[in-house]
Amino acid sequence: MADKLIIVESPAKANTIKKFLGGSTKVLASMGHIRDLPKSKLGVDIEHNFEPEYINIRGKGDLIKSLKKEAKNAKKVYLATDPDREGEAIAWHLAHILDIPEDSVCRVTFNEITKETVQSSIKNPRKIDKNLTDAQQARRVLDRIVGYKISPILWKKVKRGLSAGRVQSVAVKLIVDRENEIEEFKPEEYWSIYANLLEEKSKQSFKAKFYGINGKKLEIHSKEEVDSILKGIENSKFIVDDVKKSQKKRNPSPPFTTSTMQQEASRKLGFTLKKTMSIAQGLYEGVKVEGKGTVGLITYMRTDSTRISEEARSMAKEHIVNKYGESFYEN
């Protein structure tokens, strides 16, 4: 009999966490959601406060039986699904299936999967956050109502196979509006003049850009204007009137949020959102590192926060000081 049973979402995460805990602790995976709205009908009682009608997901019967058996044999069950509203909802559904009281202190979360964080989180469990589960439930119900009610209209009026959604329908509207703006845009001709100048004494060359006349900025909109300006300054001698020197401080970019990570992965690597999140999920849950086993390499990837944990700050400071010296570390 295990003293503690910890249920996470994926086997990879379970394997990483397992090595941080004692032998009397068992770690199992729920394989994602275990209950959801039925696919064959709306599954939302609109007449009674939009009450969702959840059912066990088809194909997860054996898994549910196994989790129930292990929970019954454990002295304490902890629900350690991901630290977001989907993870909170999975924990809530698990508590329902495993007959864990709603006010039970059974919920633990890991913003990063390191030994210190995992062990500290297990020592400081909390109750399931009903605000988060309600938020997830509202999102799920809205998805279902919009999708099931509007999609059939699209099939009748536009084309079979199209679908509507709480997010995608709004996104399509934004794309249409933007495309209309692009089509209605009237391009305006614009010219710039550059000159490669040579300093007589040092023989150093540099590039200068035409700004305007008599200190006033001048916008150029035709080749005729360019030719007129060039004719006016032909064979002129250019004088450097003022040189300004300054020091600039550039701060490092903040840690990624979900959206900035997706944007950079798309811009620099050409990754799709799905590929980016799949790779990030694997890095969070743990990858095999030679000599260290399975190690979680990033913090939780679904976040809007740029906060850095004290443990990470300490490790970064140690690395910077050891490699570059104390003067390169600024707290």
* Model confidence pLDDT, tens digit, residues 147-199: 988 999 999 999 888 888 888 899 999 999 999 999 999 888 999 999 998 88
pLDDT of residue 29: 94
Domain 4-136, classified CATH 3.40.50.140, yes or no = yes
Domain boundaries, the chain: 4-136, 258-328
Task: Spell out where the chain has E strands.
Answer: 4-8, 25-29, 35-36, 44-45, 51-52, 55-56, 76-79, 105-107, 126-127, 194-198, 205-209, 212-213, 216-217, 287-289, 293-295
Residues belonging to the active site: 300
What are the counts of helices (DSSP H) followed by strands (DSSP E) for the chain? 10, 15
pLDDT of residue 319: 94
Contacts of range 317-326, beta carbons closer than 8 Å, 24 or more positions apart: none
Q: Mean pLDDT in each 10-residue stretch from start to end of the chain (331 residues)?
A: 86 87 87 93 93 94 94 93 93 95 92 86 94 95 92 90 89 95 91 90 88 88 92 84 87 91 96 95 88 83 85 88 89 68
Taking the C-alpha atoms of residue 1 and residue 209, their distance in angstroms, rounded to an integer, is: 78
pLDDT of residue 239: 84
pLDDT of residue 1: 61
258-328 CATH choice from 1.10.510.10, 1.10.290.10, 1.10.8.10, 1.20.58.340: 1.10.290.10
